[in-house]
Chain A
Amino acid sequence: MEIFHNLIFGFGVALSMQNLIYCFIGVLVGTLIGVLPGIGPLATIAMLLPLTYNVPPVAALIMLAGIYYGAMYGGSTTSILVNLPGETASVITCLDGYQMARQGRAGVALAISAIGSFFAGTVCTLILALFGPPLANMALKFGSPEYFSLMLMGLITAAVLAHGDMLKSLAMVALGLILGIVGSDVDSGIKRFCFDFYELADGIGFVVIAVGLFAIGEIISNLSDPEERVVFTSKVGSLYPTKQDLKQSFGPFMRGTFLGAFFGVLPGTTPAIASFGSYMVEKKIARDPSRFGRGAIEGVAAPEAANNADAQCKFIPMLTLGIPASGVMALMLGALMIHGITPGPGVMTQKPDLFWGLIASMWIGNLMLVVLNLPLVGMWVSLLKVPYRLLFPAIMVFSAIGIYSTNNVSFDVYLAAIFGILGITWRVLGCNPVPMLLGFVLGPMMEENLRRSLQVSDGDPSVFVTRPISLAFILVAALILIVMVLPAVRAGRDDITG
């Protein structure tokens, strides 16, 4: 029954006026950028992070989280109405969602997508509330070796499951770890890799790297490959699904949610994988698979539930263990650190208002999305008509001010420009920057835990395999690596991750 006390406490926090307003702003901004192709949640959260410096950490996290799941939601709106996925997670929704729209059932598709997201959101709120505390309690007993192995496992899994070349992703993790330790060494006080720039003494700014790679790099990439955006708006039609629609959707909701939740806690997977996987499942078990691609309601219900479940369950490892399972979660960890909170299992005991308030806010935010968005669909679609050439200078303005305002030094802005160039270079070379970001966040913590582990063990590296929990993490990491090298699995991985 403790869980109910905790949830009630969380709702008490989330329902304060200030937190409600930030939650609302978050889901609104999230929906907006979800609708707009060319800007994703990663870039937006990075840009807006500096605006939350003066806000209490709970409100800041609530808003940033709102942007994230709001974007998942907005992305599917445009998938259905105009066959234009705002986010890659909703690419799969185009298949049947747009077909439904063409059959005059756009309203039903939107409603099913909203209900599916809400259903998944509710289940995942409960999952988070149920499994969060025991996970964090277990993690509180971890020593340095366990932590080091856990991070190693998280990073390896993330690299292996991320899309793109596996070797390159692993290399990018190592590169991120190096970038992460730039600045003063906590142990010796020596400034490492600072090249006499005093601005680097505190390390490379989190916002600098994220905005540089994911906002500026993205813009360069988008401008390099302009594509016309033609918008054919379908009529929305009735928003009310029939009983038959709901009955058909219930199974897909359940399966999508649990598949999404499963993928959600795995590091490195994106919501796109969850939604794609759940679509495939529905198609496999359908009595008449040929309906898929022609407006099957299951083809909307399952992926929509799955991508929302995935997005929400990504918070589990972040909040309870301090391990970022995706780029956005790395940003959330960064937001915690900026507010002076050490990520890890301690968050729940030391900052229960943050933990439970955030969980409760996600449920409230999902409800807001349903209430807010269905009537506003027309407005969101008209936003699509804003041409990219007017949009990207606005992104530049937010990026530049966001970076500058962090430390009030121009140096950071120049550094972001460099990371923008690096971002496009890596894209051209097929190197995924997300694993790098994860390594970057974990770099200092990994070094510290490695140092402490080796101190405890008198310099004996076998400590990582003689302690059972640590050994388990190492074995899982090794297993994932070995499995992924097998040719058959590899082919399957390429199918899923692209």
Chain B
Amino acid sequence: MGVRITMTRNVFTPVPTFPRQGGRSSKDYRMKLQLLKTKDFWAGVMLIAIGAAAMIISQDYRFGSALRMGPGFFPTILGGILIVFGLAIMAVGVRRGEKIQEKVSLRALILLPLSLVLFGELMKHAGFVPALVALVFVSAAASREFKLKEVVLLMLVLTVAAVALFIWGLGLPYPLIKGF
């Protein structure tokens, strides 16, 4: 298609599927290494781990019977279903061998969650304005195109806009700076 692919990467973006990898490697250890690079292997691991955790934790809740389902009934069954799906996905993955393709920016992966944690902590201890400043600054730093002057300006604009909209406009009851 003549469509230029854009940077729209929302959830509706189709996940590309890749053709099956060619013939199997004759060497066993290489196959294992290959497996560790596939999407399906890790997806399976994740699902099995969560399913197992759900089943183990649910042991603490009464299972009950079909007639009187206890709080442990539903999660235990779901945990089992997750494990089954996890195994099936792994099994399919061995055959398909679809490798992990997407690259993730480590910088964004660390800085964006960090900026939220800072926001949360500063909301507790320092107030709305410091929390916003930290949030904008640290999250902006997640981009490789970070420019200090521009970010300072953006910080000012967004902080003023947020204070105007949320505190003065919508009347959210947060102190701008604690202690003042």
Residues of A within 8 A of B (CB): 37-40, 42-43, 51, 54, 83-89, 91, 94-95, 163-165, 167-168, 170-171, 174-175, 177-178, 181, 185, 187-188, 190, 192-193, 214, 216, 218-227, 229, 270-272, 293, 327, 387-390, 392-394, 396-397, 400-401, 404-405, 410-411, 413-414, 416-418, 420-421, 424-425, 427-434, 446-447, 450-451, 454-455, 458-461, 494, 497-498
Answer yes or no: B27 CB below 8 A from chain A CBs. Answer: no
Chain B residue nearest to A272 (CB atoms) is B12
Q: Is B36 an interface residue (CB 8 A)?
A: no
Chain B count of residues within 8 A CB distance of the other chain: 88
Within 8 Å CB of A193, what residues of B?
54, 57, 75
- Tell me which residues across on chain B come within 8 A of A218, comparing CB atoms: 9-11
Are A393 and B136 neighbours in the complex by a CB distance under 8 Å?
yes
Given A226-B7, A229-B7, verify A88-B66 contact (CB < 8 Å).
no
Q: For B75, give its contact among A181, A393, A450 (CB under 8 Å).
A: A181
15 more A-B residue pairs beyond the given contacts A224-B103, A417-B116, with a C-beta to C-beta distance below 8 A: A37-B7, A40-B8, A163-B14, A167-B88, A167-B92, A177-B78, A178-B79, A392-B143, A393-B140, A400-B116, A404-B119, A413-B123, A420-B116, A450-B69, A454-B67
Is A214 touching B162 in the complex (CB atoms < 8 A)? no
Say what secondary structure dominates the interface of chain A: helix
In the assembled complex, B33 has its CB within 8 A of some CB on chain A: no
Give the Cβ gap from A231 to chain B, nearest Cβ, in Å: 11
Q: Most chain-B CB neighbours within 10 Å: which of A54, A171, A229? A: A171
Contact of A224 among B3, B81, B104 (CB under 8 A): B104
Query: A225 is contacted by which of B92, B100, B102, B135 (Cβ under 8 Å)?
Result: B102
Residue B16 is within 8 A (CB to CB) of chain A in the complex: yes
Q: Report the 9 A-B pairs with minimum CB-CB distance, sorted nearest first.
A: A498-B14, A459-B67, A410-B120, A40-B10, A171-B85, A417-B113, A459-B66, A223-B108, A88-B12
Contact status A418-B10, CB under 8 Å: no
Contact between chains at A187 and B158 (CB < 8 Å): no
Would you call B150 an interface residue if the criterion is a C-beta within 8 Å of the partner chain's C-beta atoms?
A: yes
Answer yes or no: B124 CB below 8 A from chain A CBs.
yes
Q: What chain A residues lie within 8 Å of B112 (beta carbons)?
A: 216, 219-220, 223, 396, 417, 420
Query: How far apart sit A139 and B81, CA to CA, in the bound complex (Å)?
Result: 29
Q: Is the CB of B108 within 8 A of A427?
A: no
Neighbouring A residues of B16 by C-beta, 8 Å:
498
* A394-B120 in contact given A87-B8, A178-B79 (Cβ < 8 Å): no
List chain A residues, Cβ under 8 A from B73.
451
Which of A39, A43, A188 counts the most chain B CB atoms within 10 A? A188
Contacts of B176 in A (CB 8 A): none
**CA–CA, A227 to B145, complex, Å?**
12
Nearest-neighbor residue (CB-CB) of B155 within chain A: A393
Q: Residues 51-76 of chain B: 1 if any A CB is under 8 Å from the residue's CB, otherwise 0? A: 10010011001100111111101110
Q: Is the CB of A175 within 8 A of B10?
A: no
Interface pair B8/A37, CB less than 8 Å apart: yes
* Set of chain B residues within 8 Å of A167, measured between Cβ atoms: 85, 88-89, 92
Contact A421:B2 (CB < 8 A) given known A221-B9, A429-B43? no
Knowing A401-B166, A413-B120 touch, does A461 contact B103 (C-beta < 8 A)? no
Interface residues of B in 84-103 (CB under 8 A from A): 85-86, 88-89, 92, 98, 100, 102-103
Cβ-defined contact, B71 with A190, below 8 A: yes
Cross-chain contact A429 with B116 (CB below 8 angstroms): no
The answer to whether B146 and A214 have CB atoms under 8 Å apart is no
**A293 / chain B contacts, CB cutoff of 8 Å:** 2
Cross-chain pairs A/B with CB under 8 angstroms, 9 sampled: A95-B2, A165-B40, A167-B85, A192-B71, A218-B9, A223-B112, A393-B136, A411-B120, A460-B66
**Which of chain B's residues has its CB closest to A427's CB?**
B102
Return the chain A residue nearest B169 by Cβ: A51
Q: In the complex the two chains form, what is the Cα distance from A400 to B116 in whole Å?
A: 7
A71 to B103, CA, bound (A): 28
Knowing A270-B12, A420-B113, the reply to whether A389 touches B50 (Cβ < 8 A) is: no
Min distance, Cβ B106 to any Cβ of chain A, angstroms: 9
Question: How many angstroms between the C-alpha atoms of A363 and B172 in the bound complex?
Answer: 33
Per-residue interface assignment for chain B, residues 120 to 133, with 1 indicating a CB less than 8 Å from any chain A CB and 0 otherwise: 11011000000110
B11 touches A42 (CB 8 A): yes
Given A86-B8, A393-B154, A498-B14, A220 contacting B61 (CB threshold 8 A): no
- Specify which of A327, A389, A414, A458 is in contact with B140 (CB 8 Å cutoff): A389
Cβ contacts under 8 Å, A451 to chain B? 69, 73-74
Say which residue of A178, A390, A394, A401 sits within 8 Å of B82 (CB atoms).
A178
Q: How far is the CA of A43 from the CA of B9 in the complex (A)?
A: 12
- Pair A222/B140 contact, Cβ less than 8 Å: no
Bound-complex Cα distance A175 to B49 (A): 11
- A443 CB → nearest B CB, Å: 8
CB distance from B125 to the nearest CB of A (A): 10
> Could you tell me the distance between the alpha carbons of A51 and B109 in the complex, rounded to whole angstroms?
27
- Cβ contact within 8 Å between A393 and B67: no
Contact A434 B11 (CB under 8 A): yes
From known contacts A86-B8, A89-B12, A410-B120, infer whether A450 and B135 are also in contact, taking CB-CB under 8 Å.
Answer: no
> Whole-angstrom distance between the alpha carbons of A175 and B146 in the complex?
37
B54: A residues at CB distance < 8 A: 178, 193
CB-defined contacts of A42 to chain B, threshold 8 Å: 10-11
Contact call A494/B135, Cβ cutoff below 8 A: no
Chain A residues with Cβ below 8 Å from B124 are: 410
Please determine whether B100 and A429 come into contact, CB atoms closer than 8 angstroms.
yes
Least Cβ distance of B12 to chain A in Å? 4
- Does residue B20 face the partner (Cβ distance < 8 Å to A)? no
Which residues of chain A come closer than 8 Å to B71, judged between CB atoms? Answer: 185, 187-188, 190, 192
Please report the C-alpha to C-alpha distance between residue A90 and residue B119 in the assembled complex, in whole angstroms: 36
**Which chain B positions have C-beta within 8 A of A168?**
43, 85, 89
B105 at the interface (CB under 8 A from A): yes
Question: Are the C-beta atoms of B132 and A94 separated by less than 8 Å?
Answer: no
User: How far is the CB of A382 from the nearest CB of chain B, in Å?
Assistant: 17
